[in-house]
Amino acid sequence: MKKIGVLLINLGTPDSPSTADVRSYLFQFLNDPRVVDLPWLLRKILVNLVIVPFRAAKSAKIYQKLWTEKGSPLLYYSKKVARLLDDTLGDDYSVHLAMRYKNPGIPDVLAQMKKLNYSRIVVLPMFPHYASASTGSALEMVMEEIRTWWAIPELKLISQYYDNPDFLDAIVDRASKYDLNDYDHVLFSYHGLPTRHVDKVYEEGLCADRNCVHEITTDSQYCYKASCFATTRLLAEKLGLEESDYTVCFQSRLDKNWLEPFSDKVVEARAKQGDKKLLVFSPAFTADCLETVIEIGDEYQQIFVKNGGEKIQLVESLNDHPLWIDCLKKLVLDN
Ligand SMILES: C=CC1=C(C)c2cc3[nH]c(cc4nc(cc5[nH]c(cc1n2)c(C)c5CCC(=O)O)C(CCC(=O)O)=C4C)c(C)c3C=C
Ligand SMILES: [Fe+2]
Ligand SMILES: [Fe+2]
């Protein structure tokens, strides 16, 4: 019998790109109080009467562009990573994949894992950076489920690993097919967050430095913004980039009070100042998804060209990269 269970978690994706399935996904996602952290009534009104009704059909059209014959890339690659990780970890480990939203859901997957009586469970979110809206939400759901078990196994929750050398090397290797000298500028575009999400990490209620490029300290260790800048500094060093060669930016905002600078505005500004080719890294996304393939690869490309640029080259997500599998393997073995 296998002794250690590994629960690999990703965000989740609609069951299909139909408007009904996208609506149901957005409904579950945006009603999460760690994602839309407003008082209950305000969240219900805003999400269920404003955002979801207006967004579902529009998002469904974008999901239809993203969908391949293998379905959603996020789910396809998450499953593949789980299989490869299971193969490489050997007989003492068994890897299970769950999604925070939609399928396969965390409660169902944990119910299967419970029956297998693991002596230890390692929970490994596929988010290198901690954010309450991603890792926090997934780990909370795991704890909510496991707290009801009569026999609670040893439990290890991995909160973040953005500075793990294997993770960084995998990204650098992913980019190795591009010659940095061919590009006018490099962007490191991370998923955005409402600024208050970042502020809430700090006891006194404010991200120490709103324009933070700050070092990681015990106070800021779970500041998503700080960890994005730290990731960028580490990657830039490995890539041999000077500070003037790159810009850190944040994409996918839902309103104006999100982390800045906004990626789409940076793309526009770089085109207007004469850049023709941009190389874009997206280190917060470990699998191809709507926010990389469509938002960066398609929407930003259009913005760039409209303003005088030529080509936005996205550095593909890690997906099933062997060094990424190796990184996950070591994270499990070290924990
Ligand atoms: C308040 C809204 C949102 C927060 C906060 C948020 C944080 C967050 N999201 C990811 C990763 C992904 N998000 C994806 C899609 C997506 N995200 C939001 C909103 C928030 N995300 C929406 C409404 C959507 C759906 C698409 C749309 O309608 O625009 C995806 C892609 C999923 C896919 O199926 O391809 C990912 C991945 C992280 C890591 C994060 C916190 C840092
Ligand atoms: Fe998101
Ligand atoms: Fe901060």
Is the pLDDT assigned to residue 8 strictly greater than 60? yes
**Which residues partner with 303 through β-bridges?**
none
Region 124-139: mean pLDDT is 98
- The domain tally of the chain equals 3
pLDDT value, residue 202:
85
Region 91-98: mean pLDDT is 96
Count of CB atoms situated within 10 Å of the CB of 3: 14
Domain that holds residue 147: 4-13+70-162+321-333
Our mutation pick for probing the ligand 1 site, out of 62, 74, 191, 319, counting the most ligand atoms within 8 A of Cβ, is 191
Q: If you measure from the C-alpha of residue 35 to the centroid of ligand 2, how many angstroms do you get, rounded to a whole number? A: 9
107 lies in some domain? yes
97 lies in some domain? yes
Average pLDDT, rounded, for the chain: 95
CA distance 28 to 243: 40
Q: Which of 48, 66, 84 is the last residue of a domain?
A: 66
Q: If you measure from the C-alpha of residue 258 to the centroid of ligand 3, how many angstroms do you get, rounded to a whole number? A: 13
Question: Are 252 and 307 within one domain?
Answer: yes
Question: Are 148 and 9 within one domain?
Answer: yes
pLDDT value, residue 262:
97
Instruction: Find out whether 126 and 8 touch, Cβ atoms under 8 Å.
Output: yes
171 lies in some domain? no
Sign, Cα dihedral of 263, 268, 272, 276: positive
Question: Are 29 and 95 within one domain?
Answer: no
CATH code: domain of residue 115: 3.40.50.1400
Count the residues in the chain.
335
95 lies in some domain? yes
Is the pLDDT assigned to residue 118 strictly greater than 90? yes
**Residue 306: C-alpha distances to residues 115, 267, 271, 276, 300 (Å):** 56, 11, 8, 12, 10
Q: What is the pLDDT of residues 10-50, one digit of tens each?
A: 999 999 999 999 999 999 999 999 999 999 999 999 999 99
Q: If you measure from the C-alpha of residue 255 to the centroid of ligand 3, how many angstroms do you get, rounded to a whole number? A: 20
Question: Are 183 and 278 within one domain?
Answer: yes
Region 54-71: mean pLDDT is 97
Q: Which residues are near ligand 1 (CB < 6 Å)? A: 11, 13, 26, 35-36, 55, 59, 72, 74, 127, 131, 133-134, 191, 193, 224, 252, 254, 284-285, 289-291
pLDDT value, residue 171:
98
50 lies in some domain? yes
- What is the pTM (predicted TM-score) of this model? 0.95
Q: What is the pLDDT of residues 193-229, one digit of tens each?
A: 999 999 998 877 677 555 565 678 777 889 999 999 9
